[in-house]
Amino acid sequence: MDTVLASAAIMPLMGDATADETLMQRYARGDAFAFDELYRRHELKVWRFIQRSVANRASADELMQEVWFSVARQAPRYVPTAKFTTWLFTLARHRVIDAHRMQRPHDSIDESRQQTAQLVEQLSTAPSENPASQVQARQEREALISAVQRLPAEQREAFLLQAEAELSIADIAKATGVNFETAKSRLRYARAALKTMLQELA
Amino acid sequence: MNDFDDDAADELTLHYRRASAADSSRPSQQTRAAISAQARKVMAYRTTRAADEAALAQMEASPAANDSRWRLRAVAGLAAVGLAGLLAMQAIRNTPGPDLPRATIVAPLTVQAPQTPEPVQAPFREEREVAASPGPLVSGGAMNSVQSAEKSVGADAVSPAAFPGNAMGTARPAASTSPAAGAPAPVAADSRAVPAANASTPRRLEQKLASAPTEDAPAFEIVTLATGDQRTDRHVMHLQRTRQARATLMTPNVTLKTLVGLAYDVQDSQVIGGPDWADKSTFGITLAMDQSVLSGALAGEPKVRLMLRKVLADRFGLELHREFRPLRAAALVVSEQGAKIRLSETRPGEWTGLKFAPHQLLGRGAPIRRLANDLFMLTGTTIVDMTKLDQTYDFAAQWSTDPGRPNFNWTTSWTGDGPGRTVWPGAPAPPNVSLEAALERQLGLTLQPGIFDVEVLVIDAANQPVTN
């Protein structure tokens, strides 16, 4: 039984024509459509990870380009020793860290607030059962998004890597270069902090 | 003690995902288009680059170009240089050099035919669609003096035009971070495979290389390698056919970075790193080679480019790698009003080329990527050709005097004797028209400054060469 499970776990990395890792290798061999498919699959996850991390539309666009440029650039040397998403979000994380280090002058708190407001506005237009629940849902989303953005950077990235990238704790540890327990602790602290912030706002 | 299941999403995470899923925010359309375009450029370049590497490997597998035979050939070579050098240096010394942007001038190769005209193979003429231009005949500061030298020996066009190549990149917002930073673990650190974003010049050239896998490796001898001739206040390269069935390449006063740019078909600004002297010390190099370099499927510039790479490796101990770097540059794009240039209507035998004179430029049968190259020389800014105009065109533009810009004289000819007075618009420069405005209003092309993901050559190691 264990053998079967192990084989099944390896399959996506080795033979599945639609696996991310296979698509990456196909792109490296000259299949542009493979890249398109990869991008389609992961565009929003990467985008949201970046946008929540930098809270600035212009910076997010820029970082988004840099991440995917890197994917294209490094395709020939990509070795599927890990999940593609782990590798992809490692790239994204590095770009976010670079951006914070550079303290880009056009990152502004006002813009961040404005964009949060825009997000809330967008969310508020989603269909809802009735106006009251719509308002309540909008307020909850606003609070949650805002709370995520206010998390300490390490906690935020751990939370986003799980919530957006759907990485396991082991993969979060790998992507962030820490051990399993540290990654787990960061997640725990992130969730605790989010709950606290949301309770305070309630 | 675990207060949550390790990998299972708790209610908070699920709640977040629902909120996030309702978020209609997306990357901008420009970003998405740029990513898609870049992925294809990178892939296309990677494919053709493999062909280039194969051709280079084949050449390197041949006997060393500067083996002991050079001592014998040098005798004949020096004799050849005697004649050809006189012609070339006359052009150089008659040139009013100080006005030229010394650090950025990279001249396309000049090819001169022997005094006794003979049928000259012109493979790049025949493959114009591939090389995108039939080959420069003249290039350099003083157009008239260079032209007169050429006419005196019955010059004919032989070499290709893709020299140097223009930078290509993908537009991105300002203040980008270094793409080299932070490579994740699954990827090896080697950056040689980092492809160029250039979708025009190198690709076309490398297709040409790939089309001639059986071409013999070009042989050459370094006749002289000396410190730069400081009397020559510009960087000139002349590839000349001589009477002694030889060809010579002369670079009287060039820096290592300029040589690298020439050898690898990039603008000077795309060559970075290396020792301090790489862009300070200048060298004069004269290469002698068999005239066969001027014929065959790899004739002219591509062959010489490969030779120069060998010289740089053998004599300078050059080691480099390619990678992308965000560079402050200017994208040459079609303006919103559309391009105002017209497809070339030049006929066989007519002059085709690019001429820059003070406040004016004229193109006949000229590819836009070559215009971008020359604009780089004029402005000192890396120009990224993003016009997607891949034909040859006729155009002219004039602008006002700009004290901040050099008095730029530069002609590259691919066919014919030169623009002459009959075709060169000699009207006085209009007042209050900047170069940028002239490009936009008169050519329908816009220079958009920004930071672009541009392929660069990073010098990893280089040694001061031993001069002789």
Look up the ipTM and state it.
0.78
Check residue B292 and give its pLDDT.
65
- Per cent of chain B over pLDDT 90 is 6
**End-to-end distance of chain A based on CA atoms, in angstroms?**
48
- Per cent of chain B over pLDDT 70 is 47
Calpha distance B433→B448 (Å, rounded): 17
Decide: B181 and B387 in contact? Cβ < 8 Å.
no
What is the dihedral angle through the alpha carbons of B292, B293, B296, B302, rounded to the nearest 10 degrees? 180
Number of separate helices (H) and strands (E) present in chain A: 10, 0
Distance from CA of A68 to the nearest CA of B (A): 6
Check residue A8 and give its pLDDT.
28
Calpha distance B20→B28 (Å, rounded): 17
Predicted confidence (pLDDT) at residue B298 exceeds the cutoff of 70? no
Predicted confidence (pLDDT) at residue B408 exceeds the cutoff of 70? no
Residue in A48, A68, A194 closest to B35 by CB: A68
Asked if B295 has any chain A CB less than 8 Å from its own CB, the reply is no
Check residue A156 and give its pLDDT.
93
Task: For chain A, give the mean pLDDT.
Answer: 76
Cα distances (angstroms) measured from residue B269 to each of B203, B398, B412: 20, 26, 21
Distance from CA of A74 to the nearest CA of B (A): 7
Confidence of residue B377 (pLDDT cuts 50, 70, 90): confident
Across B210-231, average pLDDT: 56
Helix (H, G, I), strand (E, B) or coil at A1: coil
pLDDT tens string B122-134: 222 222 222 222 2
Residue of A nearest to B38 (CA): A69
Task: For chain B, give the mean pLDDT.
Answer: 61
Selected residues 95-134 of chain A with any CB under 8 Å from a CB in chain B: 95, 97-99, 102, 104-106, 118-119, 122-123, 126
Predicted confidence (pLDDT) at residue A154 exceeds the cutoff of 50? yes
Selected residues 127-186 of chain B with any CB under 8 Å from a CB in chain A: 170, 172-173, 175-179, 181-186
Residue of A nearest to B13 (CA): A163
Across B233-241, average pLDDT: 54
Confidence of residue B247 (pLDDT cuts 50, 70, 90): low
Asked if A77 has any chain B CB less than 8 Å from its own CB, the reply is yes
Check residue B440 and give its pLDDT.
92
Confidence of residue A98 (pLDDT cuts 50, 70, 90): confident
Top pLDDT among B178 and B268 is at B268
Top pLDDT among B111 and B290 is at B290
**Interface contact flag, B36 A164, Cβ < 8 Å:** no
Asked if A32 has any chain B CB less than 8 Å from its own CB, the reply is yes
Across B346-354, average pLDDT: 78
Residue in B28, B31, B47 closest to A30 by CB: B47
Calpha distance B385→B387 (Å, rounded): 6
Residue in A91, A159, A169 closest to B7 by CB: A169
B27 φ/ψ sector (left φ>0, alpha ψ -120 to 50, else beta): beta
**Alpha helices (H) in B121-269, listed in sequence order:** 123-126, 128-131, 143-152, 201-210, 256-264
The secondary structure of B335-371 as a DSSP string is: -TT----EE----TTS-EEEEEETTEEEEEEEEHHHH
The secondary structure of A22-67 as a DSSP string is: HHHHHHHTT-HHHHHHHHHHHHHHHHHHHHHHH--HHHHHHHHHHH
Best B187, B322, B323, B452 residue to mutate vs chain A (most A CBs within 10 Å): B187
Top pLDDT among B114 and B267 is at B267
Q: Collect contacts of B32-38 with beta carbons under 8 A, ≥24 apart.
A: B32/A43, B34/A65, B34/B170, B34/B171, B34/B172, B35/A39, B35/A64, B35/A65, B35/A68, B35/A69, B35/A72, B36/A36, B36/A39, B37/B170, B38/A65, B38/A68, B38/A69, B38/A72, B38/B170, B38/B197, B38/B453
- Lowest model confidence (mean pLDDT) among A156-160, B20-24, B332-336: B20-24
Q: List CB contacts (< 8 A) between A122 and chain B.
A: 22-25
What is the dihedral angle through the alpha carbons of B203, B207, B208, B213, rounded to the nearest 10 degrees? 140
Predicted confidence (pLDDT) at residue B419 exceeds the cutoff of 60? yes
Check residue B133 and give its pLDDT.
29
Check residue B291 and give its pLDDT.
67
The residue ranges of DSSP E strands in B368-462, in sequence order, are 383-385, 392-398, 410-415, 445-461
Residue in A39, A61, A148 closest to B173 by CB: A61
**Interface contact flag, A87 B182, Cβ < 8 Å:** no
Residue of B nearest to A163 (CA): B13
Residue A88 one-letter amino acid: L
**Interface contact flag, B188 A77, Cβ < 8 Å:** yes
Top pLDDT among B284 and A38 is at A38
Across B411-419, average pLDDT: 63
**Interface contact flag, B173 A35, Cβ < 8 Å:** no
| Max CA separation in chain B (angstroms) | 93
**Interface contact flag, A174 B185, Cβ < 8 Å:** yes
**Interface contact flag, B177 A66, Cβ < 8 Å:** yes
**Interface contact flag, B173 A62, Cβ < 8 Å:** yes
Decide: B208 and B302 in contact? Cβ < 8 Å.
yes
Confidence of residue B240 (pLDDT cuts 50, 70, 90): low
Confidence of residue A38 (pLDDT cuts 50, 70, 90): very high
Decide: B262 and B164 in contact? Cβ < 8 Å.
yes
Check residue A64 and give its pLDDT.
92
Predicted confidence (pLDDT) at residue A186 exceeds the cutoff of 90? yes
Alpha carbons within 13 A on the beta-carbon side of B111? 29
pLDDT tens string B16-42: 888 888 878 889 888 888 888 888 887
Cα distances (angstroms) measured from residue B113 to each of B118, B152, B290, B291, B301: 8, 10, 14, 11, 15
Residue A100 one-letter amino acid: H
Q: List CB contacts (< 8 A) between A80 and chain B.
A: 186
pLDDT tens string A40-53: 999 999 999 998 88
- Lowest model confidence (mean pLDDT) among A29-38, A147-156, B236-245, B284-293: B236-245
Check residue B218 and give its pLDDT.
58
Decide: B247 and B292 in contact? Cβ < 8 Å.
no
Check residue A116 and give its pLDDT.
42
**Interface contact flag, B19 A184, Cβ < 8 Å:** no
Top pLDDT among B194 and A26 is at A26
Residue in A58, A70, A79 closest to B186 by CB: A79
Distance from CA of A120 to the nearest CA of B (A): 8
Predicted confidence (pLDDT) at residue B57 exceeds the cutoff of 50? yes
Best B1, B2, B10, B16 residue to mutate vs chain A (most A CBs within 10 Å): B16
